[in-house]
Amino acid sequence: MPDPQTGFRRVPARIGTRRLLLAATIAIGTCRVGAAEPGNPSDWTMPAHDYASTRYTDLAEINASNVKNLTVQFTFSTGVARGQEGAPLVVGNTMYIVAPYPNDLFALDLTKPGAPLKWSYKPNPKAAAQGVACCDVVNRGAFYYDGAIYYATLDGHVIAVDAQNGRELWNTTLGNINKGETITMAPEVVKGKVLIGNSGGEYGVRGWLTALDAKSGAIQWKAFSTGPDSDVLIGPEFKPFYASDKGGDLGVHTWPPGAWTIGGGTVWGWISYDPDLNLVYYGTGNPGPWNPEQRPGDNKWTGGIFARDPDTGRARWFYQTVPHDLYDYDSINELILLDLELKGQQRKVVVRPERNGYIYIIDRATGEVLSADAYGTVNSTLGVDLNTGKLKYNDEKKPRQGEVVRNICPTAPGAKDWNPSAYSPRTGLLYVPHTNLCMDWQSYATNYIAGTPYVGADVKMYAGPGGNRGVFTAWDLKKRAKAWEVKEDLPVWSGALATGGDLVFYGTLEGWFKAVNARSGALEWQFKTGSGIIGQPVSYRGPDGRQYVAILSGVGGWAGAIVAGGLDKRDPTAAKGMVNATTDLPDKTTKGGMLYVFALSAH
C-alpha cells in the first residue's frame, strides 16, 4: 500500500500468514516462544528490523514533543570492553544481546524490574581468532527465527541456540582462522536457511556466502565470490544487466593466474530478502591485496552486489559497484528494498548508500542502475556511466606503487562503512550515518602468507572539506538530493533508527546518543553514554505496552581502534590510517560495553 504522503510502499516487511500460523502452532504446541509472535511488528527480531532492511518501526509513542522525557530504564554490561557493533533483539518478553569476542549471548527478562539476566550462552571461541580480525573483534548481532537465536562467533562457528532456555541446538564450523577467516556479520534466516558469510578481506581470504539448514545446521549451498562459475553458483539463470558481467568463468579470467584463490570478496555486511521475487541481496567485499597493481583485471566477483535464489543459491544478477577496486571500497553496505515511483513508473528498487560515495538506486529485478548520486565528498571517481554501469575512476587519484597519492576522498572505509542507514516511509527520507574523511595512500608489493595480513598499502586519513569528520545525512530519494544534514566532529560509526514518532536515533564516537527530528534534523534529545557508540539502535514495545529505545555503547571498530586497541598516535598509519584521523579520541572517550535502554519517564 503506497504511503499517502510519499507514494512509496515498503516491501512486505514480515512473512505473511503462513509464518504467523506456524508461529502460533509452535507457541501452542511447545510453548517455546510463549506469548511472543515472531511476526509482531513491535518486536525487533533481526538487526535490520525487517527483510527490506528499513530499520523503521511504526511505534510512535515517543515523538518530538515528549522525547525530552526519555530516561534510562535499565542497563546491562556485556562484560567486554571492545567495539559494540551489535543490534539488541527483542522477541516478546525477552531481549537478546551478542557481545564482541568472546561472543557471549545474553537473554534478558523484560517482564521483571531491571530486566535481569534470564540465561547466558558461552561459545568459547579460539582466542587466536583475535589476531586475524582486521578491525576490532566485533559482532554485528544475531537473528531470531522460529524459536531459535542464530549468530556467528569470531572464530567462524555458526550457532543456533534455543531462544527459550539458551541450550545449544547446533554448532557448525565454517571459518578457518589459519587462512585468516573470521565471521563478524549477523546471519539472515530466509525460508528455513541461515545465510552467513566470512570476513577476512585483509588476509587474502576467498569470500563466500553459505546457507545452512536452520533446523540441523547442515550446509545447503555455498557460493564463492571468486573462481569458476560452478563455485560462484552461476548458471543459465544468471542474467546480469551489463555486458561487463557476461561471459564464462569471469571469476577466474579477470585475475592474474591463481590470484582469485586469495582474492577476497568476503561477505561480511548485510543481506536483504524480497519474498515476492524470491531473491536475496548481498554485497561482496574488497579484492585482496589492497595494492591494485598486484591484481590487474576487474577482479570479479568482488566489490559488487549479488541477487540470488535463496532456495538454490543460484545467482540471478550481479552488479559491480567497484570493478578492480583501487581503495578498499568494499561493496557490503546495507541494501534497502523499496517500491518507488520513478518518472511516473512504479519500480521495485534496491537502495544502496555505497562506500565509494554514491547512493545507488538499482532495479532489484534486473540489476539495472537507475541512478547513482554522490552523498559525500568524492574525488576518487567521476560518477557512474549509466549506459555501461561502469564506475569512472579519476586517473589523477589512482594509486601508483612507490608513490604517495594525496588527498583521495573518500577513504578506505568509504564515505560510509558497514553502519546501516534507516528509511522512514513517513518522510520518504533515507537516514545515512557516515564519515567525511580523505586520505594519502602509498601502495607497495606485499606477500601472501596464510593467516597474516595481505594489504600492501600505507594510508593516512584526515578530515575532509569543512573539517567535520562525521555527517548524518537525510537523503531525499525522490529528489535524489540531500534534505538536511547534521555535521559531527568525529566520524559517525553507529547505525540509524527511524520511528513512527518522526524521530531518528544515532550515536557518536564520543558517546552521545541522539534523537533528531526526522523532517528537519533538529536535535530533540541527547544522552551521554559511558563510551563511544558504534552500535545499532533499535526500538520495541515492552511487555508493559510502552515504547523503548535500546543502544549498545562501547567504542571500537575501525573508527574507534585507537581507544579499543590502545593504539599509538605517533604512527599515523596505525589502524590502516584511521588513527591519524582520530588522534583526539582517547581524550574524549574510554573503552566500554554497556547496553542502555530508554523509555519516557512516568509522570
Partner 1 sequence: MCSRYLRISLVGPLWIVTLLALGGCQREKRQFQSSPVTESGPMQVRTTDLQAGQTTPLQPDARRALYENNAYNLSEGKRLYQWFNCVGCHAHGGGDSGPPLIDSAWRYGGEIEQIYATIQQGRPNGMPAFGGKIPEQQIWQIAGYVRSISGNLSRSASPGRNDEMQTSPPEQLMEKQPPVTSSPAATEGTQK
Give the interface with partner 1 as residue ranges (CB under 8 A): 80-82, 127-136, 202, 404, 440, 442, 444, 446-447, 449, 451-455, 458, 460, 561, 565-576, 579, 591
Q: Which is nearer to partner 1, 53 or 266 (CB)?
A: 266
CB atoms within 10 A of CB 518: 27
Q: Is 63 a catalytic residue?
A: no
Pairwise CA distance, residues 486 & 475, whole Å: 12
Of 113 and 566, the one with the shorter C-beta distance to partner 1 is 566
> By three-state DSSP, how is residue 476 classified?
strand
Which of 50, 181, 325, 328 is labelled catalytic? 328
Planar angle of CA 399, 405, 407, nearest 5 degrees: 120
State in angstroms the smallest separation of the CB of 95 from partner 1: 25
Cβ proximity to partner 1, 100 vs 425, nearer residue = 100
Establish whether 334 is a catalytic residue: no
Minimum distance, C-beta of residue 185 to partner 1, in the bound complex (Å): 18
Gap between the Cα atoms of 230 and 479, Å rounded: 42
CB closer to partner 1, 321 vs 411: 411
Q: Which is nearer to partner 1, 60 or 127 (CB)?
A: 127
- Give the nearest distance from C-beta 385 to partner 1 in angstroms: 33
Catalytic residue among 103, 286, 299, 436: 286
Q: In whole angstroms, how close is the CB of 540 to partner 1 at the nearest point?
A: 31
- Integer angstrom CA distances of residue 144 from 22, 87, 447, 500, 536: 14, 12, 41, 23, 16
Write down the least CB distance from residue 83 to partner 1, Å: 11
C-beta atoms surrounding 192 within 10 Å: 15
| Whether 328 is catalytic | yes
Can you give the length of the chain in residues?
603
- For partner 1, give the closer residue by CB, 133 or 597: 133
Residue among 147 and 175 whose Cβ is closer to partner 1: 175
Q: How far is the CB of 265 from partner 1 (least distance, A)?
A: 19
Taking alpha carbons only, the member of 313, 351, 349 closest to residue 334 is 351
197 or 593: CB nearest partner 1:
593
* Of 55 and 82, CB closest to partner 1: 82
Instruction: Please identify which residue in the block is written with the cell numbers 567525511.
Output: 436
Contact 432, 64 (CB under 8 A): no
Closest listed residue to residue 322, CA positions, set 292, 280, 351: 292
Cβ contact 549:539 at 8 Å: yes
> In the 3-class helix/strand/coil scheme, how is 498-520 assigned residue by residue?
EECCCEEEEECCCCEEEEEECCC
Q: How far is the CB of 600 from partner 1 (least distance, A)?
A: 36
C-alpha torsion sign, points 265, 52, 535, 321: positive
Q: State how beta strands 437-443 and 429-435 pair.
A: unpaired
Selected catalytic residue, list 85, 146, 188, 202: 202
Give the nearer residue to partner 1 in terms of CB position, either 117 or 128: 128
CB of residue 307 vs partner 1: minimum separation in angstroms? 33
Closer CB to partner 1, 426 or 591, in the complex: 591
CA distance 67 to 52: 27
**What is the number of H-type helices and E-type strands within the chain?**
5, 39
Long-range Cβ contact pairs of 586-589 (< 8 A, separation 24 or more): 586/562, 588/490, 588/509, 588/510, 588/532, 589/509, 589/510, 589/511, 589/531, 589/532, 589/555, 589/560, 589/563
State the cell numbers at 227.
573462481
We find the least distance from the C-beta atom of residue 270 to partner 1, in angstroms, to be 23
Pairwise CA distance, residues 359 & 538, whole Å: 24
| Distance between CA atoms of residues 506 and 529, nearest Å | 12
Longest dimension (CA), the chain: 70
Mapped onto helix, strand or coil, the DSSP state of residue 89 is strand
Distance set, CA 359 to CA 48, 286, 378, 385, 418 (Å): 18, 18, 12, 14, 14
Determine the Cα–Cα distance for residues 364 and 517; give it in Å rounded to an integer: 30
Reference 414, options 397, 395, 396, 433; nearest CA is 433
Query: Minimum CB separation from partner 1 for residue 558, in Å?
Result: 10
Beta bridge partners of 105: 98, 121
Distance CA 285, CA 203 (A): 12
Tell me the closest approach of the beta carbon of residue 496 to partner 1, in angstroms: 27
**Minimum distance between the CB of residue 466 and partner 1, rounded to whole angstroms?**
25
At which residue does the C-alpha cell 522512514 appear?
424
Q: Which is nearer to partner 1, 46 or 80 (CB)?
A: 80
From CA 97, how far away is CA 92, in angstroms rounded? Answer: 14
Q: Are 456 and 326 in contact (CB under 8 A)?
A: no
Positions marked catalytic: 202, 286, 328
